[in-house]
Amino acid sequence: MQARTYLRASLLAAVVVIVLKLLAWKVTGSVGFLSDAMESIVNVAAAAFALFIVRIAEAPPDADHPFGHTKAEYFSSGVEGLLIAVAALLILAEAGQRLTHPEPIGAVPLGAAISALATAVNLGVALWMLRGARRLRSIVIEADARHLLADVWTSVGVIIGVLLVPVTGWLWLDPVIGIVVALHILTEAFSLVKRSVDGLMDKAMSAADLADLQAILDRFRSSDMRFDHVRTRVAGTRRFVSMHLHMPGHWTLQRAANCRYAVEKALIEAHPGMIVTIEMLTSAQETLQEQNERQGAAQGEQNCPPPPAQPTPH
């Protein structure tokens, strides 16, 4: 199943959910239900934009983009985060006005039942999408699924809070619920934008993936073979790793190539789709870049002022 299938399902579910939540707000007049519905409006826009971005990300490499277009996925999660933040600010404005001018709400049981139905739809779709995100390693699907899960928890809180309003008679409780929901949405927005920035900045693979990668390399390390300058980066659903493989200079080219192939094969089998770049060097050899880096570090040490002389004890 492709990423677009998940996003189409998310878009359809978002439309159904927003209709239900707007209906819950209409029958009750609750700002809490309104805040919940506004977040779902963002879901629709985010899912539609994500569907558009995935079509770009799935495009094969070309002359201008030899490493593919998978980084386009980060634009989707970033835009989704910004849209969520805008929705949160609108909710805060509405809740602040209702807090200063409290209004009674009605038909609470009916509105809560409608909202609960919408929440159940969101929960089912979110769990299904999370499984797909793990299988496809897609940040777009994961971002959309986690947004839906956040929507589920805020909806549960809203339903409980709104049900308490007629029981307690506290009219201020309804706008306070809206404010709490808005603040929660803002934290989710910050998380999504941060992940997008990390991806666009060529962030390394996760700690768990890095540990797995090192464990694979440990299987090949010996007195004759060593690895250094292991670098990784993530671009959407793709993983990239580059490294230097040092081996004795008297080995034949065939033997060296066989070792390189074995390492590459083990890495790709553990991480399907990974792009592996291995530069072969002799045991005592370093690249020109490494030599320049070492010379630069040595020059920097020479330019440092000497430590102050210690006073002679009397």
Q: What is the pLDDT along the chain (314 residues), one digit of tens a residue?
A: 576 788 788 888 888 888 998 999 888 888 878 877 877 776 677 667 767 776 777 677 777 777 676 667 677 667 777 877 887 787 788 778 778 877 788 888 899 999 999 999 989 998 998 888 888 777 667 877 877 887 787 788 888 888 888 888 888 888 888 788 778 778 877 877 877 777 667 778 888 889 999 999 999 999 899 998 899 988 766 788 999 999 998 999 999 999 999 999 999 998 888 889 999 999 877 766 666 666 665 565 566 665 555 555 55
Cβ-based neighbours of 40, under 8 Å, separated by 6 or more: 14, 17, 18, 21, 118, 151
**Reduced to 3 states, what is the DSSP secondary structure of residue 255?**
helix
Each domain of the chain, given as residue ranges in start order, spans: 3-200, 207-284
Closest to 289 measured CA to CA, from 246, 248, 244, 247: 244
Same fold, 3-200 and 207-284: no
- Residue 84: per-residue pLDDT: 76
207-284 CATH = 3.30.70.1350
C-beta neighbour count of 179 within 10 angstroms? 20
CA distance 227 to 217: 8
Cβ-based neighbours of 30, under 8 Å, separated by 6 or more: 24, 105, 108, 111, 162, 165, 174
Classify 3-200 by CATH class: mainly alpha
Closest to 238 measured CA to CA, from 114, 307, 139: 139
- Residue 297: per-residue pLDDT: 56
Closest to 196 measured CA to CA, from 85, 64, 36, 66: 85
Q: Which residues of 22-50 are buried (b: 16+ CB within 10 A; e: fewer)?
A: bbbbebbbbbbbbbbbbbbbbbbbbbbbb
- Integer CA distances (angstroms), 275 to 193, 210, 225, 270, in order: 26, 15, 21, 12
- Residue 309: per-residue pLDDT: 55
- Residue 133: per-residue pLDDT: 83
